[in-house]
Amino acid sequence: MATGNPRNKVALKPGFSLVGWIRLTNSGQDLIGGRKGSISLEELKRHDQIDDCWMAIRGKVYNVTRYMDYHPGGSEQLMRGAGKDATSLFDEYHAWVNIEQLLAKCFIGPLKHAITLDLSDLDEKPKSSRKSSITLSPPSAMLGSLPPINETDKTDISAIKVPNAQLYPRFDWIQRKNDLIVYFYCKSFCNPGIIIEQICDTECKVTIFIGNDVYIFKFSFYKNLKWPATLKINQETGKVEISFEKEDTDLWPNYGMHERITGGGYGYCEFIIIEKEPINHDSFELVLRPKSDKIIYYISLGHHVDLKLNIDGKQVMRSYTPIPAKYVSLKNSLPHMNFLIKKYNPGNMSKLLYERSANESILVSNQSGYFQLSNLKSHINIALLSAGSGITPFCGLIDHLLERIANKVEKVVLYDFNKTKDDIWFHDLFNEITEKDKRFTVNFVLSEPNESWIGETGRISEKILEELLKLDITVALICGPLLFNAEALKILSASSKKIEAICFQG
């Protein structure tokens, strides 16, 4: 939040501190002005006023209008990035700040880029004289290795390295007498999310989420298939496998046909409560499934969904991270979705969820999140720092890391911060994992322990992380309240070791 130079800070109005901003972002108010989706440079430029201010940072567009009065450097400094790509300005003053968490509720969508390539007379001209005239608009995720190019520039294409990547997942299929298997080949460690919807006995729709990109395919099969399908995902290879059982046990001359559907993306699906069970004094397990038995959801590792209720004509919404079935006592399988939820005071959403009964409806959004699994593939010694319910994004990640084959992980160290022992959600399960796999170690830290507690005590500090900083850790994943995340980042950045830090929204 600091400007990088304490002398540049300004006096904020009462109520406009960091805590005030956290309250506002958790209030459920619309901070993006109703607009959501990809944003072009032209559209971004139109929002450059103090009462209508957008800016792009690291390929993402945020509506920072409501943040003006909360910025420690003042609105004048923030306006320097109004209506444009402010990445270089941000990195100059705020490189250590977790912008994706701080402005999570202000995120509108990815910034669309356009580059121009003149390929005329390509075979006739020398390589050094080839110019461009064809406009391409690749997804923002594919532009990471491209040099910045002005749309009107005449650029030598010999200096441009276009990524060797497909614009959408590659499709294939095989069959046996009893079943049909559909494959999608995505990029390795791209961490896809999947929604499969049966339309009828011969048709279904498959939606694949990869980062900010959404790919929708509609299938019309040769003959009838049974439901539900079976879904398998190999996170290392990016291979998605969807298996269908045939109604007739014979070989087909072809699978049928499929088409790619444009449009769609962010939306909600109606789920119903299957089970709900308290696990301690202030937390409970919640198991949901789609109201329609024709839908299967799979959420990418480290991503979350919004749960939304309609109460007396008003919509109440909050983000939660689903966890694998092994982490809840109410055992189930796809297409169920499992949550552990802490009841907060006043905690309107958590209280309302706790008061819901079996078979009542809840709206569940498509997935959201910024975590990129590929950022971990080169690391073999990994730390996880969590506080309270911030442990949930790490549940599926722990399993993935310990099962990873390519560049096998050597060490996963978890520091789990809570108030009391009763607040620890997965105490016994994490201890079981340490017994089964010596590469995993867990340190429970309590800020309000009782007299019988013999483990670490206190809040996150350099002293508590002293032993961790002695290890050969190269990356640390952080998830908890905003102040916890900021303190963890401060400690890691002050360390003499070069430890990459990745923050989740707590």
Three-state SS string across 233-293, please? Answer: EECCCCEEEEEEEECCCCCCCCCEEEEEECCCCCCEEEEEEEEEEECCCCEEEEEEEECCC
Q: How far apart are CA 374 and CA 235, in angstroms?
A: 10
What is the domain extent for residue 148?
A: 114-165
**Of residues 315 and 422, which shows the higher confidence score?**
422
Structural domain total, the chain: 5
Asked whether residue 1 is domain-assigned, the answer is no
Q: How confident is the model at residue 27 (pLDDT cuts 50, 70, 90)?
A: confident
Q: Taking all residues of the chain, what is their mean pLDDT, rounded to a whole number?
A: 83
Residue 132 and residue 33 in one domain: no
Per-residue pLDDT of 162-213, as tens digits, reads 333 445 788 899 999 999 999 999 989 999 999 999 999 999 999 999 988 8
Residues 393 and 414 reside in one and the same domain? yes
Which helix H or strand E contains 456, and what residues bound it?
Answer: strand 456-457
> Mean pLDDT across the stretch 310-331?
86
Same domain, 346 and 434: no
Q: Smallest Cα–Cα separation from 216: which of 323, 366, 337, 38?
A: 366
Phi, psi for 339 (deg, rounded to 5): -135, 150
Question: What are the distances in angstroms from CA 456 to CA 74, 154, 413, 416, 420?
Answer: 40, 61, 15, 10, 11
Structure tokens at 146: 């491209």
Q: What is the pLDDT of residue 72?
A: 82
Same domain, residue pair 119 and 100: no
Residue keyed to tokens 């079981």: 432
Burial category of 394 from C-beta neighbours within 10 Å (exposed 0-12, middle 13-18, buried 19 and up): buried
**DSSP-assigned letter for residue 419:** S
pLDDT interval class at 113 (50, 70, 90): low
Tell whether 64 and 149 lie within a shared domain: no
Residue of higher predicted confidence among 505 and 157: 505
Are residue 254 and residue 303 in the same domain, yes or no?
A: no
pTM given for the model: 0.68
Residue 50 has pLDDT above 70, yes or no: yes
Domain end marker among 261, 276, 303:
261
Would strands 500-503 and 475-479 be described as parallel, antiparallel, or unpaired?
Answer: parallel
Domain presence at residue 254: yes
Same domain for 13 and 76: yes
Give 235-280 pLDDT, tens digit per residue: 999 999 999 999 998 999 999 999 988 766 568 999 999 999 999 8
Do 183 and 233 lie in one domain? The reply is yes
Whether residue 192 sits in one domain with residue 88: no
Q: Are residues 385 and 479 in the same domain?
A: yes
Residue found under tokens 């497909």: 166
Identify the burial level of 366 via C-beta atoms within 10 angstroms of its C-beta, where 0-12 means exposed, 13-18 middle and 19 or more buried: buried
